[in-house]
């Protein structure tokens, strides 16, 4: 009994007081955690290429640019003419990217065989074995500046007027105000014609009007006794006839 009591108290306290603090011992990097596992005596190769930003002088952007191979595993810098070389890369398959804060470049996958043969192809992360050849040495052309910002929704008169709600309000208003002035309603012929067209619009005069229907519905729900009495009242009238 006592034990059970203690246990329940324990449960109650459980939710708040268990403290899980990340451990202070060296869990951050184990000895095998490093990603770079290169063969000790494998040959090292060089990835070469050129980055071009059309219409911009290279001096204006190369100082902020870098060439990243597979994340930051290998890093290259751009020469003042836009060409680059990433040295000391072992054989394998790598995604080569030119990064600048201002211009966008498409990444390229470069395969290096163990003999040092190179080929470049489009990056396709889904079908990784698909080969669409790209020129090597790489020719990476910028696809324009990065778009970092959203457009603000600006307010203008045209936006306001083109709003469907506003259009729905304004157009009938125009019809109501302008139509009587355009069409001479005093002309009896015209009136006749209009009446005809109104009839055309409402092809089935037998069909109950929507507004009528609504009023019926609401009045019906309000008091069925009233409706009943009215129907009683009409029946004898029919008999009389």
Partner 1 sequence: MGKLILLLLNLIVLYNIVAAVFEDQVGKFDWRQQYVGKVRFSHFDTHMQSSKKVLLATESNVFAAINTRTGDLFWRHVDKTGPEGNIDAVLHHGQDAVLVVGNGRVLRSWDISVGGLNWEIVLDSGSFRSACLVGQQGTVKHAAVLKKSVISLHYLSNGHQKWVENLPESETVNYQAVHSDGNGQVYALGVVSHSHIAVVAYSAEDGEIIKQVSVEAPWLSNIPASCAVVGQGMLTCVDSTTMSIYTLDLYQQLQMIQIPLQSLGLEVDPGFQPHLVSHQPHPARQPLSEFLLQLGPDHHLLLQLNNGQIVILRDFKPALLVSFATTGEKTVAAVMSPKNKTACGINLFSAESGRRLLDTTLIFTVDPNAGKPERLHVQAFLKKDDSVGYRVMVQSEDHALTFIQQPGRVMWTREEALSDVVTMEMVDLPLTGTQAELEGEFGKKADGLMSMVLKRLSSQLIMLQTWVAHLWKLFYDARKPRSQVKNDVSIENLSRDEFNLQKMMVMVTSSGKLFGIDSKTGSILWKHYLDNIPSNAAFNLMVQRTTAHFPHPPQCTLLIKDKDSGLAALHVFNPIFGRKSQVAPPALSQPILQSLLLPLMDQDYAKVLLLVDDQYKVSAFPSTKNVLQQLQETAASIFFYLVDSSQGRLSGYRLRTDLSTEQVWEVVIPVEVQNIVSVKGKRPNEHVHSQGRVMGDRSVLYKYLNPSLLAVVTESTDLHQERSFIGILLIDGVTGRIIHEAVQRKARGPVHVVHSENWVVYEYWSTKSRRNEFSVIELYEGMELYNSTVFSSLDRPHAPQVLQQSYIFPSSISTMEATLTEKGITSRHLLIGLPSGGILSLPKMFLDPRRPEIVSEQSREENLIPYAPELIIRTEWFINYNQTVSRVRGIYTAPSGLESTCLVVAYGLDIYQTRVYPSKQFDVLKDDYDYMLISSVLFALFFATMISKRLAEVKLLNRAWR
The answer to the question of residue 39 lying near partner 1 (CB under 8 A) is: no
Residues in contact with partner 1, total (CB under 8 A)? 68
The answer to the question of residue 37 lying near partner 1 (CB under 8 A) is: yes
The answer to the question of residue 89 lying near partner 1 (CB under 8 A) is: no
Sheet containing 92-99, strands listed edge to edge, beginning at the edge strand earlier in sequence: 74-76, 66-69, 92-99, 108-112, 118-122, 133-134
Query: What are phi and psi for residue 89, nearest 5 degrees?
Result: -105, 125
| Tokens 């500046």 sit on residue | 145
Measured from the CB atom, the residue of 157 and 218 that comes closer to partner 1 is 157
Helix or strand run (H / E) with residue 100: none
The answer to the question of residue 177 lying near partner 1 (CB under 8 A) is: no
Measured from the CB atom, the residue of 22 and 221 that comes closer to partner 1 is 22
Task: Give the C-alpha separation, 86 to 43, whole Å.
Answer: 14
Measured from the CB atom, the residue of 15 and 240 that comes closer to partner 1 is 15
Burial per residue of 187-212, b for 16 or more beta-carbon CB atoms within 10 angstroms, e otherwise: eeeeeeeeeeeeeeeeeeeeeeeeee
Task: Give the footprint of partner 1 on this chain (CB under 8 A).
Answer: 6-7, 10-33, 35, 37, 46, 58-59, 62-64, 66, 68, 70-72, 74-75, 77-80, 84-85, 87-88, 93, 97, 99, 101-102, 104, 107, 123, 125-126, 128, 146-150, 152-153, 155
């Amino acid at each position: 009994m006592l034990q059970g009591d203690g246990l329940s108290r324990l449960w109650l306290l459980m939710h708040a007081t268990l403290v899980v603090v990340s451990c202070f011992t060296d869990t951050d990097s184990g000895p095998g955690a490093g990603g770079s596992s290169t063969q000790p005596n494998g040959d090292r190769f060089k990835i070469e290429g050129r980055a071009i930003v059309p219409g911009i002088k290279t001096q204006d952007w190369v100082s902020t640019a870098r060439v990243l191979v597979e994340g930051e595993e290998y890093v290259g810098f751009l020469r003042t003419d836009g060409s680059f070389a990433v040295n000391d890369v072992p054989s394998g398959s790598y995604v080569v990217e030119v990064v600048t804060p201002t211009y966008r470049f498409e990444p390229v996958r470069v395969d290096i065989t163990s003999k040092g043969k190179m080929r470049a192809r489009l990056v396709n992360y889904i079908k990784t074995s698909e080969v669409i050849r790209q020129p090597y040495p790489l020719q990476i052309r910028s696809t324009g500046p990065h778009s970092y910002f959203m457009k603000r929704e600006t307010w203008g008169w045209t936006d306001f007027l083109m709003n469907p709600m506003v259009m729905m309000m304004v157009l009938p208003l125009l019809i109501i105000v302008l139509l009587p002035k355009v069409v001479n309603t005093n002309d009896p012929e015209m009136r006749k014609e209009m009446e005809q067209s109104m009839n055309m619009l409402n092809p089935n005069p037998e069909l109950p009007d929507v507004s009528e229907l609504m009023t019926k519905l609401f009045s019906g729900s309000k008091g069925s006794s009233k409706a009943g009495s009215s129907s009683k009242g009409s029946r004898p009238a029919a008999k009389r006839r």
